[in-house]
Amino acid sequence: MLFEKNDKILFIGDSISDYDRARPVGEGLFNAWGTSYVSCVGATLCSAYPELNLRVVNMGIGGNQVRDLQKRWRTDVIDLHPDWVSVLIGINDVWRQFDSPQMPETHVSPEAFEEGYAQLIDQTLPAVKGMILMSPYFMEPNRQDPMRARMDEYGAIVRRLAEKNGLLFVDLQAAWDELFRYMHPCNIAWDRIHPNQIGCMHIARQFLKAVGADR
């Protein structure tokens, strides 16, 4: 398993990570992790590997794009001194292009997305053991759908950055495609973005498999 005794694992991203996590820092008592995949991961790791005394922190904020992470990276990541950082970002960077097409100032181009993401990685790697990069996704099996095709483009950017820096990459889009062989997306998320508890656990399982948590 990737994590070692007393490791601190910080998750950051948008609403898919947020899910009512505690403010200002999503760690501690009374469901501080919220109800997203982060809580599924935290509960599984801490119950299955109690001897490791792992710390899990949720720093997701709904609506965030990569440029929002850039603005808060120092306070919400670096200053919290994590050992590992898991990032799930990019959905809103794409979504705003489709739900707000008349507002180009809310859009993040592929080039700006890659540049911003690369800067986050460069800032982080000297100070941590490693990072886990999770692909953005759209719960649409039809790869010809315009938003799905665009999301695949941004997912490929995340994969490329992970490979370039020797980081773990978790392909959530591929995981949804596999699940949707048996379930319709409406069974997981009414807007094809925000998963129910089945979907949150599905994301968590991809993360846990990637880090070698097999208990």
17 is catalytic: no
215 domain residue, yes or no: no
120 domain residue, yes or no: yes
- CATH code: domain of residue 160: 3.40.50.1110
What's the total number of domains in the chain? 1
| Owning domain of residue 13 | 8-210
194 is catalytic: yes
Percent of the chain's residues with pLDDT above 90:
99
Phi, then psi, of 156 in degrees rounded to 5: -65, -35
pLDDT category of residue 145 using cuts at 50, 70 and 90? very high
Catalytic residue among 39, 76, 194, 202: 194
pLDDT digit string, tens, across residues 84-111:
999 999 999 999 999 999 999 999 999 9
191 is catalytic: yes
User: How much is the pLDDT for 75?
Assistant: 98
pLDDT category of residue 38 using cuts at 50, 70 and 90? very high
Catalytic residue among 7, 15, 107, 145: 15
Burial class of residue 112, CB neighbours in 10 A (0-12, 13-18, 19+): middle
pLDDT digit string, tens, across residues 3-37:
999 999 999 999 999 999 999 999 999 999 999 99
Rounded distance between C-alpha atoms, residue 159 and residue 207, angstroms: 15
Is-contact 171 159, C-beta < 8 A? yes
198 domain residue, yes or no: yes
144 domain residue, yes or no: yes
Is-contact 195 201, C-beta < 8 A? no
1 domain residue, yes or no: no
